[in-house]
């Protein structure tokens, strides 16, 4: 059995996985730097450190073409479907919400890609949107679950990042509690994501991946809007990197 490495060079974070068979041996996560290639190199060196042989390296994500030492480059769609299958073998639909885009991937019962949708033209409904609004209200995405626990969401009319930021400021000036505004932002994002997912013939089980999947309140609200269970996994943010490493295994085996 050989080691393979998958690196997902995202717009916000760079994720890396070292696989041996189907077992995750190492994980790497860092903010994507001003020069994404530097983050890829950092991930590569950290994941291969101490290994006697050079692992097969597969790159995916926005920065996959920025370095010349990878063995293979693949698109995110292929990787996320495979990675999701390792985390939840029976998965049929994947919703991935990252820093700058969101995508829905549909798989058949054998895990083959059958359809997908991608939104990478607008920050609304992405981690970037959540981050901007959180900072406007003086908090962070990581604190959202604690802040909004048990809080009824205040309606938000705009999902455009620029207009929503202005609306949030107006709501605060009108005396609306920041906790209620944040709950409303999460609910509006979950509703938008639910509409996005429903553009495909959604089948369960559904796995939620990407950095936003760590937000428990978002997942609960998304489940309400979809009227179905939304699963996630501790390694959901690494789905793209896991899939890249699995593709590397197949390539190496040839």
Beta bridge partners of 61: 9
Residue 229, number of CB atoms within 10 A of its CB: 10
Q: What is the DSSP letter of 234?
A: T
Half-sphere exposure of residue 228: CA atoms within 13 angstroms, side-chain side:
15
| Per-residue pLDDT at 166 | 87
- Asked if the model's pLDDT at residue 121 lies above 90, the reply is no
pLDDT beyond 80 at 49: yes
Given the DSSP bridges, would you call strands 23-31 and 72-73 parallel, antiparallel or unpaired? unpaired
pTM (2 d.p.): 0.91
Say whether both 99 and 221 belong to one domain: yes
Q: Which residue has the higher pLDDT, 41 or 122?
A: 41
pLDDT at 163: 78
- 154 and 109 in a common domain: yes
Candidates 115, 76, 110, 46; CA nearest to 210 is 76
Q: To the nearest 10°, the Cα dihedral for 234, 237, 93, 151? A: 70
pLDDT tens for 139-196 read 998 999 999 999 999 988 877 767 788 898 999 999 999 999 999 999 999 998 998 9
Range of the domain at 141: 90-232
State mean pLDDT over 82-104. 93
For residue 110 the two structure tokens come to 């054998």
Percent of the chain at pLDDT > 90 equals: 67
User: Could you tell me which residues come within 8 angstroms of residue 61 by beta carbon, excluding any fewer than 6 positions away?
Assistant: 7, 8, 9, 10, 14, 76, 240
pLDDT of residue 203: 83
**Residue 218, domain CATH:** 3.30.420.40
Nearest to 99 by CA among 10, 15, 7, 207: 10
Confidence label for 207 from pLDDT (cuts 50, 70 and 90):
very high
CB 204 within 8 A of CB 39: no
Residues 183, 211, single domain; the answer is yes
Which residues are paired to 195 by β-bridges? none
Task: Identify whether residues 24 and 106 lie together within a single domain.
Answer: no
254 and 178 within one domain? no
Instruction: State the pLDDT at residue 122.
Output: 67
CB 245 within 8 A of CB 87: no
Residue 204 has pLDDT above 90, yes or no: no
Are residues 102 and 81 part of one domain?
no
Q: Assess whether 80 and 129 both reside in one domain.
A: no
Residue 229: is the preceding peptide bond cis (ω within 30°)? no
Query: Is 30 found in the same domain as 135?
Result: no
Total domains in the chain come to 2
* Residue 94 near residue 187, CB atoms below 8 Å: no
70 and 169 both lie in a single domain:
no
CB 237 within 8 A of CB 213: yes
pLDDT band at residue 3, thresholds of 50, 70 and 90? Answer: very high
Q: What is the DSSP annotation of 136-177?
A: HTT--GGGHHHHHTTPPPPP----SHHHHHHHHHHHHHTT--
Q: Cα–Cα distance between 186 and 167 in angstroms, integer?
A: 15
Closest alpha carbon to 4 in 34, 44, 32, 35: 44
Q: What is the pLDDT of residue 165?
A: 83
Least confident of 11-15, 124-128, 140-144: 124-128
Q: Verify that 164 and 192 share a domain, yes or no.
A: yes
Same domain, 242 and 224: no
Would the pLDDT of 84 be above 80? yes
Instruction: Give the residue with greater pLDDT, 112 vs 254.
Output: 112
Residues 114 and 193 in one domain: yes
Mean pLDDT of the chain: 91
Could you tell me how far CA 148 lies from the centroid of its own chain?
Answer: 21
Radius of gyration of the chain (CA): 19
Residue 126: what are its φ and ψ, rounded to 5°? Answer: -115, 175
What's the mean pLDDT in 199-213?
90
């Amino acid at each position: 059995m050989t080691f393979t490495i998958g690196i997902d060079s995202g717009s916000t974070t760079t994720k890396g996985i070292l696989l041996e068979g189907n077992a995750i041996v190492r994980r790497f996560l860092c903010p994507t730097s001003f020069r994404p290639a530097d983050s890829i190199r950092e991930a590569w060196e950290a994941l291969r450190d101490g290994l006697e042989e050079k692992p097969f390296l597969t790159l995916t994500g926005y920065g996959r073409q920025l370095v010349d030492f990878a063995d293979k480059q693949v698109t995110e769609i292929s990787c996320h479907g495979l990675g999701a299958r390792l985390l939840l073998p029976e998965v049929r639909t994947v919703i991935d919400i990252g820093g700058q885009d969101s995508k829905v991937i549909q798989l058949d019962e054998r895990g083959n890609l059958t359809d997908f949708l991608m939104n990478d033209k607008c920050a609304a409904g992405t981690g970037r949107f959540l981050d901007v609004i959180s900072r406007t209200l003086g908090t962070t995405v990581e604190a959202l679950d604690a802040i909004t626990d048990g809080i009824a969401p205040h309606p938000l009319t705009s999902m455009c990042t620029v207009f929503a930021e202005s609306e949030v400021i107006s709501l605060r000036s009108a005396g609306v509690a920041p906790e209620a505004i944040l709950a409303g932002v999460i609910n509006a994002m979950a509703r938008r994501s639910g509409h996005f997912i429903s553009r495909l013939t959604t089948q369960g089980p559904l796995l939620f991946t990407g950095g936003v999947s760590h937000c428990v309140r978002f997942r609960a609200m998304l489940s309400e809007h979809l009227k179905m269970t939304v699963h996630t996994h501790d390694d959901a943010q690494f789905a793209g990197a896991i899939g890249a490493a699995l593709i590397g295994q197949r390539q190496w085996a040839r």
